[in-house]
């Protein structure tokens, strides 16, 4: 009788330790629970990093039991650690939205990233210099990829133009010149300096780089409204739900592009061959000459010269002794141009340069008639409404019968002009408004209402086809 309690005590101790061991073994096989709905993804990732540090990588690199565990234990922590490693002044937040953009670039847009890597060899030194002059983070250079895919001739559907996608009025505000000959929104140097100044102003306004980047996309007015709706929070992720849809995706896309431009090779993405001469120097031109003539004199491809000097709208350098214009050339061609000016070049080259060139074609003008609008005229002469506004220094869209407009650049003047309107109707998209459509096609709300017999703006339904010019 006395031994029985001792036996039972020993058995109890054995069962107690066995249950602890069984529980520990079972816990090792249980999948890590996913974060609760609405919980910050960063919190889940931080927890995983803590587990990895405590347990060692070997515990977490075993073959996962299901897709959720694969996502949590696989590439997600890798993206976070790599973003942390390249983070400088601009916060590179990691979350599910950013992850989806990284995945999209990695799996679907390798060609784009490869091409951007090639083009960046030419453009990034220009951007970096402009940013450094303003004391800004050089990683803001990646914003240009989201803006224009490094295309200096890019024009958005609302008229934003160039590498940094400046709207006409903002470009004017920041000192960029636009006239019938040049558009400095397309000039890598001038536009980068203006972009740096804009970003500097926005950072001074908000004290937050992600908000400054957001305002670059949608303007400070939209950011201010979103901050107000978010209760005054100066945090992009807090105000994100209240921003325009494009801007909600704009910042995550920037973070994803920044990641890929630093870690492309790890995803087997390699730079495409550079499309532009990596080193170029500025040359002052003090005469009126077309870029095509200059390319022949310098024995270089005209397309290469156009790409290096995209600001010349008509591909004509309108330089003079009093107002020289800058042309960017590879160093060898710059030396050749200097030799030509001094008359020291090879006789054959001099003879070629002295040949009488065909006169540059003159621009074409059009006299406004009753019922005309900018959209109709632009479609008739195969240009854009923004072209007409820049060539003729128009602040608005109002035209007066008898008004004389330049309607083609010199380069296009010798091309046969179509008299057919290219855009007659427009299919209304979800979220469209009459004022938005009017702005897009260079007309007015009143004209749209008259053309389509619209009395009430609520009659504008998605899918409806409406006329956008009098000839439609």
- Catalytic positions are 147
Residue of 327, 335, 300 lying closest to 311 (CA atoms): 327
- Report in angstroms the alpha-carbon separations of 263 from 35, 113, 117, 260: 27, 11, 11, 5
**H or E element that contains 365:** strand 364-367
- Report in angstroms the alpha-carbon separations of 287 from 331, 341, 345, 355, 462: 20, 11, 19, 16, 53
Q: Round to whole Å and give the CA distance between 107 and 187.
A: 32
Answer for the pair 239, 227: CB distance below 8 angstroms, yes or no.
yes
Residue of 225, 221, 216 lying closest to 246 (CA atoms): 216
| Beta bridge pairs of residue 284 | 326
φ, ψ of residue 311 in degrees (nearest 5): -70, -20
Tokens of 324: 């020289």
Tokens of 408: 């083609």
DSSP 147: H
HSE on the CB side for 85, CA within 13 Å? Answer: 9
Q: Round to whole Å and give the CA distance between 322 and 312.
A: 18
């Amino acid at each position: 009788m006395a031994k029985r309690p001792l036996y039972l005590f020993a058995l109890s101790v054995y069962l107690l330790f066995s249950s602890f061991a069984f529980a520990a073994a079972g816990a090792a096989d249980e999948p890590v629970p996913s974060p609760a709905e609405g919980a910050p993804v960063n919190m889940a990732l931080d927890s995983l990093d803590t587990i990895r540090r405590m347990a060692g990588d070997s515990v977490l690199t075993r073959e996962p039991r299901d897709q959720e565990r694969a996502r949590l234990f696989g590439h997600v922590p890798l993206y976070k650690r790599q973003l942390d490693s390249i983070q400088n002044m601009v916060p590179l937040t990691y979350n599910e939205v950013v992850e989806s953009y990284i995945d999209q670039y990695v799996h679907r847009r390798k060609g784009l990233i490869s091409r951007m890597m090639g083009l960046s060899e030419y453009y990034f030194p220009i951007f970096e210099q402009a940013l450094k002059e303003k004391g800004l983070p050089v990683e803001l250079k990646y914003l240009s990829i989201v803006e224009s895919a490094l295309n200096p001739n890019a024009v958005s559907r609302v008229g934003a133009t160039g590498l940094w996608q400046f709207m006409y009025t903002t470009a004017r505000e920041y000192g960029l010149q636009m006239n019938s000959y040049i558009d400095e929104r397309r000039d890598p140097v001038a536009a980068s300096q203006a972009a740096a100044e804009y970003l500097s102003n926005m950072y001074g306004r908000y004290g937050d780089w992600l908000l400054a980047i957001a305002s670059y996309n949608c303007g400070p007015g939209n950011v201010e409204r979103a901050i107000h709706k978010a209760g005054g929070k100066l945090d992009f992720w807090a105000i994100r739900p209240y921003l325009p849809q494009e801007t909600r995706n704009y910042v995550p896309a920037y973070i994803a592009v920044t990641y890929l431009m630093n870690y492309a090779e790890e995803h087997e993405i390699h730079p495409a061959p550079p499309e532009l001469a990596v080193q170029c120097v500025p040359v002052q031109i003090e005469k009126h000459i077309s870029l095509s003539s200059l390319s022949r004199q310098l024995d270089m491809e005209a397309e290469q010269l156009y790409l290096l000097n995209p600001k010349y709208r008509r591909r004509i350098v309108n330089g003079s002794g009093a107002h020289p214009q800058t042309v960017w050339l590879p160093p060898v061609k710059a030396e050749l141009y200097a030799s030509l000016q001094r008359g020291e070049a090879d006789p054959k080259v001099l003879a070629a340069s002295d040949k009488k060139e065909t006169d540059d074609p003159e621009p074409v003008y059009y006299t406004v008639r009753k019922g005309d609008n900018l959209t109709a005229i632009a479609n008739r002469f195969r240009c854009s409404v923004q072209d007409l506004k820049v060539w003729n220094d128009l602040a608005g869209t109002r035209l007066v019968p008898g008004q004389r407009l330049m309607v083609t650049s010199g380069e296009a003047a010798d091309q046969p002009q179509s008299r057919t309107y290219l855009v007659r109707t427009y299919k209304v998209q979800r979220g469209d408004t009459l004022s938005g459509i009017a702005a897009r096609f260079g007309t007015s709300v009143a004209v749209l209402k008259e053309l389509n017999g619209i009395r009430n703006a609520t009659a504008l339904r998605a899918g409806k086809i409406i006329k956008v010019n009098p000839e439609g």
